Every structure is written in structure tokens, then in C-alpha cells.
Structure 1
Amino acid sequence: MQIEIDANKRKLQGKGASRRLRAVGKVPGVVYGGEGAAQSIELDHNNLFHKLRLEAFHASVLSLSVDGIKEQVLLRDVQMHPYKPQVLHVDFQRIDKNKKIHMKVPLHFINADVSPGVKLSGGTISHVLTEVDVLCLPKDLPEFITVDLSEMTAGSTLHLSDLKMPENVEISSLVKGGDDLPVATIVVQRTGSAEESAEGAQ
């Protein structure tokens, strides 16, 4: 299900205009990219605030309706108040369905409790990464990447290259020849039998 959000064109510019918008429950923003010119917009604060709490809102193609005209966009930047639960500004980027996009996608870890390193050796899973930058066409963008930990043993490390990626989705850093970063490790405290288990797994 695609997430939809409504906005209106914003005519007044400047810090003063933005402050007045926030005072009446609106959030100033901008939508840019694609073939169209950058457009200043305003959004309902409460509606946007609640949508920002959805994980998928940060890693999905969104349907942005500006004065009734819908565009496919990505959320690119959010500015929050330093200590108040208030959104100060938001940026959206238009997408081309035929061009690949870079997007940070959250990692969902599963089966940690049944992995040998946890179940047999009493180890603890350490999540080194919580998200990964992917490269794909907009239609192939996943809401999250599942990381299966069921085969991890004591002292082992899961790397980016070990992830099972959805079809037509690549990890940006590996495409560019970057480091094969660790995603998760199993750490066993070296006491008694746990120490022997960790040594045996090396």
C-alpha cells in the first residue's frame, strides 16, 4: 500500500512566513528534482508528524498530492526542533520511474533466538548496522531488508555480502566497490564453557 500525503503550494517565502505557518499548525517544505522546478509547499503538521513515526514513510516511494496534483516522491530531509516534538521543515524529491534511486532502507533482524551462537553458546547479538543504502528502480524499492541470523555461530560475523537481497535491488557500497561492512556479530563472554565455545567456533 502506497503512503499518501497532502500539501498545498506555498506562496510566501522567508523566515517570517515560515514562523507564521508553524504558528497555525503548518510545516514549510519543498519538493524538487525531476523535470519540474522546485516548488515550495506547506503541509499539516499533525498529519506529517504521525506519518514520520512510520518506518515505511522514510523508506518508501510516497504519493505527494500538491493542490490535488499527485507526484511520486521520496522523503529526503526532515528538520526537527531541538527539544520540542515539532517538525520545522521537510524536503521531498521527485522520482523518475525509469531511473535507479539511492535510498537508505532499515534492516529487520530475525531468528536471533534460534541461532547456534545464542541458543547453544549463550552469545549476544550485536547489530553493527541498522540500515543499508540500496540502489534500485523505484518500483523495486523494499520497505526493509530481512536479515536472517539463524545460522550464526559464536564469534561469527555477518557481512553486507551475506544479505539476501530482493530481486533487482543492490547494495550501493558494494556496487561501488566499497568495503564489505559487518552487519551483525555474535559476542560470547569468555567465562567457563562459554569461552570454550567461542574458541571452538574460531
Structure 2
Amino acid sequence: MKLIFSPTSPFARKVRIAAIELGLIDTIELVPAAFAPGKPNDDYSRNVNPLKKLPVLILDDGSVILDSYVIVEYLDEIAGGGKLIPASGPARWKIKTDHSIAQGILDSMVLCRYEKAARPKEFYWQAWADDHWHRVWTGMAHFDRQSDLLSRPLDVAQIALTCVLGYADFRFADSGWREAYPNLVAFQDKMMQRPSVKISAPPPA
């Protein structure tokens, strides 16, 4: 298998953490790539992902699996199933819902990053950026109130959340999340003890 990914992408980091935790990382060839916003990337969109997004997993038969969650779900299945995503029952829907919230936080953070770093200053939309950052903040507050985050077995939602917090440190170091959400700090400190989280950290900005 090949994983086409950006080393700075929190979505790709989620997949890499999952692959390490599932014992599959040695079966995956890591292929770094970088696509700048506004560039056509025609070959990639035609041959790999029509949405021009990373990461993607290319299987040995040439099949392509898109979306970081779907890739993790595939890896979880071939590792035996039910390891990071429960197969059934209330826990499955709880973890999938938590993952969706974490994914939404990441989406808003990346949009804020692009708004500031890629959009021409004369077109910067402050109200739009503020709205997305408010979603980030309320999403973090939601997880800060969850007492089971530190105690339950590792799952895909926790992996996504550690990628959220890692991306906040990487791209928004002055955001103040560490002062605002002490329970998330404790969660992240514990997650950073895992080799998978350390290894997958983005390179220095």
C-alpha cells in the first residue's frame, strides 16, 4: 500500500497514528506530497483523487481509498476490526460522533489557516474567519468537558482530537487553547507519550 500525504497535514497524521497503533505502518509506503491552494494539480485530480485532497491510500491492486476517516476504517478492518472503531453498539456511534466533531474542528482550523496564509489581504473576510474560529473554540470546549477522554481505550476520535490539538500548537501557537482548556492539556500530554503521536508530529514550521 502507498499513503500519499503531506507531513504537515493533521488529517494525514491521523492515518499515520492509526497505522502505527494497528501495527500496519511497515506495510505502507509513505509518499510525501504537497499541493498548494489555487494550483490545478491536474494529473493528481485525474489519476488519483478528483477532489485534489490528501491523504489517499493506494492499495496494491491500484484501488484508491479517500478521506482520512475512511482510510482509518479500512486499516482497522484489515487489522481485525473493532480496534479503533467499535463494530457495533452505542460506543460505535459515540466514537463516530466524537470523530465528526473533531473532524469539523480541523476543517475550520485549516480554513482559518488558508484564509490568513493564502488569501490575498484585500479579500480577507474577518467575520468568516471569526465564525470558523468560534467553531474551533466551542468544539474544544465540548471535549474539555468529557471526563472519559483520558480513561477510555484508544479510538479514532481520540486520535483525531490529538491531531486537532497538535495542529493548534503547530499553526496557532498563540491561540490560548492551553490556558482555556486544562483537561485537553492533560489529554494531550498523555497522548504525547505514545510513540505513534511523537513520530507523526509535523516538522518544525
Structures share fold, TM-score greater than 0.5: no
* Structure with larger RCO (C-alpha < 8 A, sep 6+): 2
Give the structure with higher Rg (CA). Answer: 1
* TM bracket (short chain): under 0.3
The TM-score with structure 1 as length reference comes to 0.24
The TM-score with structure 2 as length reference comes to 0.24
